[in-house]
Amino acid sequence: MHCIRNITQDLYWIGGNDRRLALFESAYPVPKGVSYNAYLLLDEKTVLLDTVDRSITDQFFENLDHALNGRPLDYVVVHHMEPDHAATLRDLLARRPNVTVVGNQKTLTMFAQFFGQAPANTLVVKEGDTLSLGRHTLTFCMAPMVHWPEVMVSYDSADKVLFSADAFGSFGALDGALFADQVDFDRDWLDEARRYYVNIVGKYGPQVTAALKKLEGLDIRYICPLHGLVWRENLSYIIEKHRLWASYTPEKQGVAIAYASVYGNTQNAAEILAAKLADKGIPTVVFDASMTHYSEILAAFFQYSHIVLASTTYNNGIFTSMEHLLHEMGSHNLQKRTVGLIQNGSWAPASGKLMAALLEPMKDVEVLSPVTLKSSLAQGQEAELEALAEALVSGGTTQAAEEPAAGGKKWVCKICGYVYEGESLPEDYVCPICRRPASDFEPAS
C-alpha cells in the first residue's frame, strides 16, 4: 500500500524508512533507523527528485505509481549518485524507459560507472541552468563534495523549495511526522542530525560553507533533504547549525572527555577530572572510547569547545580504540579545539606523546601538556588534574559560538524565523536568509 505525503499542493514526499539497517554506509549505527526521501512534483511535466535505497524498493515504486496516478514520468533529477539514493535508478528506467535523466556531467559519468551503460535519455545541466515544468521552474546549483563531487541541489522558484540532497539531512526514520516543526527537534533530532552531518559531510566544511554562501540570496520556504525531516518553519535555525558545523565552530562551551582504559585506572582519572569540571560549572560529557561508537564521540567533539583524550599505553602505542578515534578526528577534519591529554603506562608511558603527534596536523588545535599516570593516579597527583581542569576552564583558545546576549533586543523574520539582534532594526535591513525586508520582521516576544 502506498504511503505518501503532501508538502505543497503539487509536491509529494514518496520516500520510505528503514529501521532494520544495522550500519549506514557499513560504518554508522542507526538505532533510530534512517529515511530515504524522494519527491515527486506534478506540473505540466512530471518530475521525480531522486530515487531511493534498494532496501525500500517496493514501497518507493508503489508510492511513485500511486502519486503519478496514471501519468507518465517525464524527468528524474539525480541530485546525488550515491546508492542510498540512486540504487533504484536503473530499476526506474527499466519500468519507465522514456524518462529523461537530469544530472550534470559527473552524474552521468557515475551513472555509467555504477550501471555499466549511459541512460537513453539525458538532460545535462550545469550551474544556473533551469528546467521549466509549467508553473514550476527548477534552477540547478552545483554543490561539489556535499557529499560527493557530482552533488547538486535544485531550487523551485514557484513555491520556494530547495531540494538540498544530503545537506540538512539527519539519521533517524520518520515517525509519522514529516516536518521538523511537528517534532521537538532539539530534544529528539538534533543529536542525530549533528552525528549525521559530522560523519557524512564533516570533512568537507569549506565546501559546505561555499554551498551555504551560494544559497544566501534565495528566498527559501521549504528545505527538502534526502534524509530526515522537511523544513518549512524556522529555517534559520538549521541553517545556522550547519554554518557552525561547517566552520568547525563549537556550539557549546564545555568539555567532551573520551578515555580508553583497560583496567579502570585511566577511566578513574577521567572521572575525577569530569567531577572537577562539573563542580566548576563546566558542561562536561564523558565517553568510553572502547564502548561508544566513534561517530557519537566525534559528534560531541564537534559540539564542545574543549576535548580531553585519556589513554593507556598499549604495545608501546595508543590504546586501539583511542587511536581509531584520533584517526577519525583527523579524517573528518576536526579543527579549532583545545585538547587536554592524560596518558597512562606502567613502565613506559608513551600514549601522550603519540596522541599529540596525531593531533599536530589538525588545524588550529591547541594541545595542553599531558598528565602522566604510572599505573594509577598517585597520591598527590590530584593536583595535576586540578591544574588540567583549570587550564580547560580558563585556558585554551577555542570559544563556542556566542550565546545571544541576555536582555538584548531581537526581531524575528516572520517568513523564515531568522533572528536579528541589536538596539534597533535598520529600516533598510534585508533578511540574510530569505531576503525579505524589515517590514517582515516583528519584535521577539
The contact mask relative to ligand FEO for 207-246 (x = CB under 6 A, - = no) is -------------------xx-------------------
Q: HSE (CB half, 13 Å, CA atoms) of 445? A: 1
Q: Give me the least distance between CB of 297 and ligand FEO, in Å please.
A: 22
Contact 211, 143 (CB under 8 A): yes
Find the angle CA(297)-CA(333)-CA(308) to the nearest 5 degrees: 40
Contact 90, 65 (CB under 8 A): no
Is 53 or 328 the residue whose CB approaches ligand FEO more closely? 53
The contact mask relative to ligand FEO for 36-75 (x = CB under 6 A, - = no) is ----------------------------------------
Binding of ligand FEO by 156 (CB under 6 A): no
d(CA 144, CA 106): 10
Q: Which stretch binds ligand FEO (CB under 6 A): 79-87, 109-117, 307-315, 429-437?
A: 79-87
Beta bridge partners of 34: 18, 172
Is 208 or 392 the residue whose CB approaches ligand FEO more closely? 208
Strand pairing class (365-367; 337-344):
parallel
Binding of ligand FEO by 80 (CB under 6 A): yes
The distance of Cα 137 from the centroid of its chain, to the nearest Å, equals: 28
Closest CA to 83 of 140, 25, 31: 25
Is 37 or 321 the residue whose CB approaches ligand FEO more closely? 37
Is 86 or 342 the residue whose CB approaches ligand FEO more closely? 86
Is 51 or 343 the residue whose CB approaches ligand FEO more closely? 51
Closest CA to 20 of 10, 3, 32, 6: 32
Q: Identify the burial level of 26 via C-beta atoms within 10 angstroms of its C-beta, where 0-12 means exposed, 13-18 middle and 19 or more buried.
A: exposed
Q: Which stretch binds ligand FEO (CB under 6 A): 13-21, 78-86, 371-379, 418-426?
A: 78-86
Binding of ligand FEO by 328 (CB under 6 A): no
Is 147 or 306 the residue whose CB approaches ligand FEO more closely? 147
CA distances from 151 to 105, 165, 226, 392, 429 (A): 11, 7, 12, 40, 33
Residues 6+ positions from 39 with CB-CB distance below 8 Å: 7, 11, 12, 13, 14, 15, 48, 49, 50, 163, 224
Is 85 or 337 the residue whose CB approaches ligand FEO more closely? 85
- The correct pick among 82, 156, 328, 440 for binding ligand FEO (CB under 6 A) is 82
Is 80 or 306 the residue whose CB approaches ligand FEO more closely? 80
d(CA 254, CA 154): 38
Count of residues in contact with ligand FEO, rule CB under 6 A: 8
Q: Which stretch binds ligand FEO (CB under 6 A): 77-85, 174-182, 369-377, 437-445?
A: 77-85
Residues 6+ positions from 109 with CB-CB distance below 8 Å: 150
Q: Which residue has the CB atom at the shortest distance from ligand FEO?
A: 82
- The correct pick among 85, 194, 276, 332 for binding ligand FEO (CB under 6 A) is 85
Q: H helices of 96-152, where?
A: 105-115
Torsions phi, psi for 264 (to 5 deg): 100, -5
Q: Give me the least distance between CB of 156 and ligand FEO, in Å please.
A: 21
Cell readout for 204 is: 568537507
Q: Give me the least distance between CB of 245 and ligand FEO, in Å please.
A: 16
Binding of ligand FEO by 147 (CB under 6 A): yes
Q: Give me the least distance between CB of 54 and ligand FEO, in Å please.
A: 13
Binding of ligand FEO by 192 (CB under 6 A): no
- The correct pick among 84, 156, 191, 440 for binding ligand FEO (CB under 6 A) is 84
- Is the backbone of residue 375 left (phi > 0), alpha (psi -120 to 50) or beta? left
Contact 165, 37 (CB under 8 A): no
The distance of Cα 249 from the centroid of its chain, to the nearest Å, equals: 14
Is 164 or 305 the residue whose CB approaches ligand FEO more closely? 164
Q: Which stretch binds ligand FEO (CB under 6 A): 76-84, 175-183, 238-246, 296-304?
A: 76-84
Element of type H or E holding 331: helix 320-331
Give me the residues that bind ligand FEO (CB under 6 A), please.
Answer: 80, 82, 84-85, 147, 166, 226-227
